[in-house]
Amino acid sequence: MHDRLTPHIVTTERLSRPEIQSILERRTLPICFVGVDLGELDLSRLDFSDCTFERCQIGHADFTAAQLENTLWVGCRGTLVNWSSARVTDSQFRSCDLNNSTWYCSTLSQVHFEGCKLTGANFSSASTLGLSFNDCLLVSSALTGISFYKSTLRNLDFSDADLSDCDFREAVFIEGGSLSHTRVNGAKFFNADLREVNLQGLHLKNAQQFKGAIISKLQAAVLLAELGLRIA
């Protein structure tokens, strides 16, 4: 993934949709957009396959149904970006600020987020086979039904997130992270290693969800306190 020829670099500060469409249609090499302001543009249904985006402003941009396979995003910034129904297969996002972004019905197979801010992001109804996160903020995000089966989850802050029906079986949480005040209706944590993650405020409505999960003695005391029990 991301083994490319030397790209054609685009550094124009601001481009219109017709200008971007022309660049994409005439390309003979992969395109690398560097420091380009794409904010608030309608970029829906354009084919950005194999493109790289470095330090671009993308706030309020609309990538609805865009082709974004094998793209690389580094240091891009922008809230409220619309990725609905976009095809983002085999792509990477590194050190990006994508708070309150919408990924409804997008295809995120084999997509990796590294060091990204995704507070309030909505991944509802997305295709997420092979989706992974590392060292990311996912506070108040909607991640319903995503599988983290046997994953190593490094420093993921899920505080206040909707994790309903997620699969955390045999997952290992390392180097911190948080499940504080998350919604976990229907989620599975069988044999998950939760010893390094913050469980404060986690509501255990169904203890069977956590059957076989590994927690520390301190975490056990916290969970019992959430149930109104005190250890004498």
pLDDT tens digits, 105-156: 999 999 999 999 999 999 999 999 999 999 999 999 999 999 999 999 999 9
Q: Which residue has the tokens 């409505």?
A: 205
- Phi/psi at 178 (nearest 5 deg)? -150, 140
- Global pTM? 0.92
In this predicted structure, what is the pLDDT of residue 201? 86
List C-alpha distances in Å: 89 to 2, 28, 86, 127.
12, 21, 9, 10
- DSSP-H helix ranges across 126-226: 217-226
Token pair in block for residue 27 = 């390309």
The answer to whether the CB of 146 falls within 8 A of the CB of 166 is yes
Look at residue 1 in the predicted model and tell me its pLDDT. Answer: 47
Distance of CA 169 to CAs 188, 192, 225, Å? 6, 5, 24
pLDDT at 95: 99
Task: Give yes or no for residue 2 having a pLDDT over 70.
Answer: no
Contacts of 206 (CB under 8 A, 6+ apart): none
